[in-house]
Chains A and B, each alone.
Chain A
Amino acid sequence: MTTGPRRLVHDDADLASMLAAADNEGPSEAEFERALSLADRVPLTAPSTIWRWLGPTLAGIAVMGTTLGVVVMRTSTSANIPMPVEAAATPRPPSAPRVEAAAAPMPPAVMTVSVDELATVTTTRPSADTSARRRDTAAPKASAAHSTFAEEVALVAAARSALERGDAVACKRTVEQYHERFRAGTFAQELEVIRIEALLMNGEGSRAQAAAERFLAANERSPYADRVRSLAEHASHR
């Protein structure tokens, strides 16, 4: 019993016309171009260093601009909603970070991303869209908050990119920029983990260990705790 029943649209002309009307709706040309542009700009990471953000109790962030204002979702539930990574018969358990060998020069960043966490990726909103289909008007407040969050995401992405290309100095500078700009930023934990990694990369083992210990003291139940413990252990061997 895998084929399923005959679809209702085949037997109900009314429903078929509703579906046809729904099919005639779609994203504006501007949104499509924005997604294509994103494809051209998103950093391409080597698979071995792909960051995957942890699932279960991730302080994940999904910010959706809405007409009611920005909704910031900080998911702290224990519900593990893994990304459907592939169509393999058994999905990979998302909550098990790979244990990195202590002999590795730098424990690769391994945090499984939860689909709960989605970041608005564009740093600039598209200019006035004259070719848009029917659009709801967005409150200015929502737009402002949305662009602020976009700035945060851009800084996180920049810090991560710097780390991945081995530029610890640029990474730390970007983290500092973030904290100056967003004192209570939604990505504070993520940036702190990145900063600890940058310290390690830069040979500042004792500072990295101290930062890791402070992080764990303040965020014992953070989804990044295991990762930070691993970094702290690594730092103690330097």
Chain B
Amino acid sequence: MEKPLRDGTSGREGASDSERREQLRNLVREHFASVWRFLRRLGFEHDVVDDAAQDLFFVAFRRIDEMVPGRERAFLYGAAARIALELKRKRSREIPDESIGERAVASTATPETLLDEERTRERLYRLLDELDERFRVVFVMYELEAMTMQEISDALQIPMGTVSSRLRSAREDFKARLERQRARTRREVGQ
């Protein structure tokens, strides 16, 4: 693995243009789909995720020389987390609380009308939507994206202690909400 040079660059600079193009394409091949899914898990609909992912990679392409090989995921996920936070912050100033949230499930859709897999996904997304945003990001990164605590710390540029405490809170909250959701389902089924 290349080590960052003293000037903070990663040593890619000597590559020819065609090699650098291939580096950009590899970034897409290796990370586009997972970054896309990560943005979905942070609470956005397909169209928003489509645009956000393209924007994110555009910026990443311009910063490719600064990425340390092997640490691209931390770079990309950190950027995605910030995008999500800022977008939600903006929306919270513009959209009344009573309006639909980021996840615009079709107004007529009910869990029963969705396909099984979609319904299962929606369960997860609704649970995630209920978490505090700071905890949600860490929870998604650790539990769903299987990132290590160190990777999360690097990506979000927060101390390990903060990662740990947020994860702990997120896990407790998520488990409680999951249990409540199951209890509701049991009651409904039992009716």
Given contacts A4-B167, A25-B40, contact A135 B61 (CB under 8 A): no
Contact status B83-A82, CB under 8 Å? no
Contact status A31-B54, CB under 8 Å? yes
Contact status B25-A36, CB under 8 Å? yes
In order of increasing CB-CB distance, the 3 nearest A-B pairs are A84-B78, A39-B24, A118-B55
Contact residues of A between 51 and 100, Cβ < 8 Å to B: 51-52, 62-68, 71, 73, 75, 81-88, 91-92
List residues of chain A with CB within 8 A of the CB of B54: 31, 34-35, 38, 120-122
Binds B, one of A14-22, A184-192, A199-207, A221-229: A14-22
Interface size class of A (residues with CB under 8 A): 35 or more
Known: A65-B51, A86-B10, A119-B58. 13 other contacts (CB 8 A): A9-B143, A26-B36, A38-B54, A45-B62, A62-B87, A67-B104, A71-B94, A83-B63, A83-B78, A86-B75, A88-B68, A115-B83, A120-B54
Given contacts A19-B124, A47-B9, A115-B82, contact A39 B53 (CB under 8 A): no
A134 within 8 A of B: yes
Interface size class of B (residues with CB under 8 A): 35 or more
Contact status B78-A134, CB under 8 Å? no
* Chain A residues near B (Cβ < 8 Å): 1-5, 7-9, 12, 14-15, 17-19, 21-28, 31-32, 34-36, 38-40, 42, 44-47, 50-52, 62-68, 71, 73, 75, 81-88, 91-92, 113, 115-122, 133-136, 138, 142, 146
Of B4, B17, B53, B120, the contact of A86 (CB 8 Å cutoff) = B4
Can you offer 13 A-B residue contacts whose CB atoms are under 8 A?
A: A9-B143, A12-B178, A24-B121, A26-B36, A27-B33, A36-B28, A39-B24, A47-B13, A62-B86, A84-B154, A118-B83, A119-B55, A120-B51
Q: How many residue pairs at the A-B interface have CB separations less than 8 Å?
A: 224
Contact status B40-A22, CB under 8 Å? yes
Given contacts A44-B17, A67-B104, A73-B90, contact A21 B143 (CB under 8 A): no
List residues of chain B with CB within 8 A of the CB of A2: 148-150, 160
Tell me how far the C-beta of B70 lies from the nearest C-beta in chain A, rounded to whole angstroms.
8
List residues of chain A with CB within 8 A of the CB of B176: none
Contact residues of B between 5 and 38, Cβ < 8 Å to A: 8-10, 13, 17, 20-21, 24-25, 27-29, 32-33, 36-37
Contact status B143-A8, CB under 8 Å? yes
Query: Is chain B's interface secondary structure helix, strand, loop, or mixed overall?
Result: helix
B17's nearest neighbour on chain A, judged by CB, is: A44
List residues of chain A with CB within 8 A of the CB of B123: 18
List residues of chain B with CB within 8 A of the CB of A14: 178, 182
List residues of chain A with CB within 8 A of the CB of B32: 27, 31-32, 35
List residues of chain B with CB within 8 A of the CB of A27: 32-33, 36, 49-50, 53
Contact status A88-B4, CB under 8 Å? yes
B131 within 8 A of A: no
List residues of chain A with CB within 8 A of the CB of B155: 84
List residues of chain A with CB within 8 A of the CB of B36: 26-27, 31
Of A46, A88, A134, A146, the contact of B51 (CB 8 Å cutoff) = A146
Contact status A121-B21, CB under 8 Å? no
Given contacts A23-B37, A81-B86, A84-B79, contact A4 B148 (CB under 8 A): yes
